[in-house]
């Protein structure tokens, strides 16, 4: 994943958060950040005291990059 330098900010551990992708050093899962973005929240709002002040804008961008990579590599098999 050398073309996504922000990807080093995302980790998956079976023992933490049920193996869901999360931001390194936190229990904040990628999907939680993506849900906020989908709800119309800005990066500034997400990293504010109202949501996740312990993460950075780069962490949010890493979540987006991670989701992009997952969707890009997803194999979809249409059903007849």
What are the residue ranges spanned by the domains of the chain?
5-68
Instruction: Give residue 59's pLDDT.
Output: 96
Cα 63 to Cα 66: distance, rounded to the nearest angstrom: 5
User: What is the CATH architecture of 5-68?
Assistant: Orthogonal Bundle (1.10)
Query: How crowded is residue 27: how many other Cβ atoms within 10 Å of its Cβ?
Result: 10
Positions in the chain whose pLDDT score sits under 70 = 1-7
Q: Record the pTM.
A: 0.84
Instruction: Give residue 75's pLDDT.
Output: 85
Predicted confidence (pLDDT) per residue in 63-79, tens digit: 999 999 999 988 888 88
């Amino acid at each position: 994943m050398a073309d996504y330098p922000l990807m080093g900010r995302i980790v998956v551990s079976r023992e933490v958060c049920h193996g869901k992708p999360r931001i390194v050093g936190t229990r904040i899962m990628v999907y939680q950040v993506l849900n906020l973005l989908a709800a119309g929240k800005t990066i500034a709002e997400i990293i504010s005291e109202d949501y996740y002040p312990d993460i950075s804008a780069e962490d949010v961008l890493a979540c987006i990059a991670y989701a992009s990579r997952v969707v890009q590599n997803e194999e979809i098999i249409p059903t007849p």
